[in-house]
Amino acid sequence: MKTVNQKAWFLVLPVLLLVGFSAVIPLMTVVNYSVQDTFGNNVFYWVGLEWFEEILHSERMHNALGRQVIFTTVIMLIEIPLGIFISLHMPKKGVWASVCLVLIALPLLIPWNVVGTIWQIFGRIDIGLLGHSLNALGIDYNYVQNATAAWITIIIMDVWHWTSLVVLLCYAGLQAIPDAYYQAAKIDQASRWNVFRYIELPKMMGVLLIASLLRFMDSFMIYTEPFVLTGGGPGNVTTFLSIDLVKMAIGQFDLGPAAAFSLIYFLTILLISWVFYTIMTNIDKREGM
Amino acid sequence: MSLQLDNVTLTVNGQLHLHEINLTLEKGTMNVLLGPTLAGKTSLMRLMAGLDVPTSGRILWNGKDVTGMRVQDRHVAMVYQQFINYPSMSVYENIASPLRLMKKSNAEIETAVQKTAEIVKMTDMLDRKPLELSGGQQQRCALARALVKGSGLVLLDEPLANLDYKLREELRAEIPKMFEESGAIFVYATTEPEEALLLGGNAATMWQGRITQFNKTSQVYHQPNNMTTARVFSNPPMNFLSVTKTGNKLTYGNGQHIEAQGKIADLADGQYMAGFRPNHLELRQAASQSMAFTATLNITEFTGSETFLHLQHEDHNWVGLIDGTHDLTLGAALPVYLDANHIYIFAQDGALVAPASYATAA
| Cis check: omega of the bond before B236, within 30 degrees of 0 | yes
**A287 touching chain B per CB within 8 A:** yes
Chain B contacts of A184, Cβ < 8 Å? 78, 80, 84
Q: What does the pLDDT profile of chain A (289 residues) look like in tens digits? A: 567 778 888 888 999 899 888 888 888 888 888 888 877 777 777 887 878 888 888 888 888 889 999 999 999 999 999 999 999 999 888 899 999 999 999 999 999 889 989 998 898 888 888 888 888 888 888 888 888 888 999 999 999 999 999 999 999 999 988 888 888 888 887 888 888 988 898 888 888 888 988 999 889 888 888 888 888 878 888 888 888 888 888 878 778 888 888 888 888 888 988 888 888 788 767 665 4
Q: How close does chain A come to B81, measured CA to CA in Å?
A: 9
Q: What is chain B's alpha carbon radius of gyration, rounded to the nearest angstrom?
A: 24
Rounded distance between C-alpha atoms, residue A269 and residue A217, angstroms: 7
Residue A146 lies in a domain: yes
**Cβ-defined contact of A288 to B89 (cutoff 8 Å):** yes
Residue B167: what residue type?
A: L
Q: Collapsing DSSP states into helix, strand and coil, what is residue B237?
A: coil
**B162 touching chain A per CB within 8 A:** no
Are the C-beta atoms of B216 and B74 separated by less than 8 Å? no
Out of A31-35, A81-85, B169-173, B323-327, the most confident range is A81-85
Structural domain span for residue A171: 51-286
Task: Tell me which residue in B82, B97, B130 faces A188 most closely, judged by beta carbons.
Answer: B97
Residue A176 lies in a domain: yes
Cα four-point dihedral sign A83, A84, A85, A87: positive
This model of the complex carries an ipTM of 0.70
Q: How close does chain A come to B63, measured CA to CA in Å?
A: 22
Chain B contacts of A183, Cβ < 8 Å? 51, 78, 80
**pTM score of the predicted model:** 0.75
Are the C-beta atoms of A211 and A80 separated by less than 8 Å? yes
Contacts of A217 (CB under 8 A, 6+ apart): A269, A273
Rounded distance between C-alpha atoms, residue A197 and residue A182, angstroms: 12
pLDDT band at B151 (very low <50, low <70, confident <90, very high): confident
**A155 touching chain B per CB within 8 A:** no
Rounded distance between C-alpha atoms, residue A163 and residue A83, angstroms: 6
Residue A156 lies in a domain: yes
Contacts of B358 (CB under 8 A, 6+ apart): B339, B341, B342
Question: What pLDDT score does B173 carry?
Answer: 84
Residues B208-216: what's their mean pLDDT?
90
Residue A13 lies in a domain: no
Helices then strands, counting H and E runs in chain A, come out as: 14, 2
Q: Tally A–B CB contacts below 8 A.
A: 59
Rounded distance between C-alpha atoms, residue A148 and residue A157, angstroms: 14
**A288 touching chain B per CB within 8 A:** yes
Q: How close does chain A come to B260, measured CA to CA in Å?
A: 53
CATH topology of domain B239-361: OB fold (Dihydrolipoamide Acetyltransferase, E2P) (2.40.50)
Instruction: Give the CATH number for residue A106.
Output: 1.10.3720.10
**Cβ-defined contact of B88 to A288 (cutoff 8 Å):** yes
Q: Considering only CA atoms, which of B45, B264, B27, B337 is closest in space to residue B151?
A: B27
Q: Considering only CA atoms, which of A281, A152, A271 is closest in space to residue A217?
A: A271
Indicate the number of domains in chain A: 1
Q: Collapsing DSSP states into helix, strand and coil, what is residue B185?
A: strand
End-to-end CA distance of chain B: 31
| CA atoms within a 13 Å half-sphere pointing along the CA-CB vector of A65 | 16
CA distances from B232 to A62, B193, B215, B236 (A): 77, 8, 14, 9
Residue A30 lies in a domain: no
CATH (residue range B2-232): 3.40.50.300
- Residue B125 is classified by DSSP as G
Task: Tell me which residue in B80, B82, B98 faces A188 most closely, judged by beta carbons.
Answer: B98
Q: Percent of chain B, pLDDT > 90?
A: 12
Query: How large is the angle between the packed helices A201-220 and A255-286, nearest 10 degrees?
Result: 180
Q: What is the domain partition of chain B in residue ranges?
A: 2-232, 239-361
| CA atoms within a 13 Å half-sphere pointing along the CA-CB vector of B11 | 7
Question: What pLDDT score does A1 carry?
Answer: 59
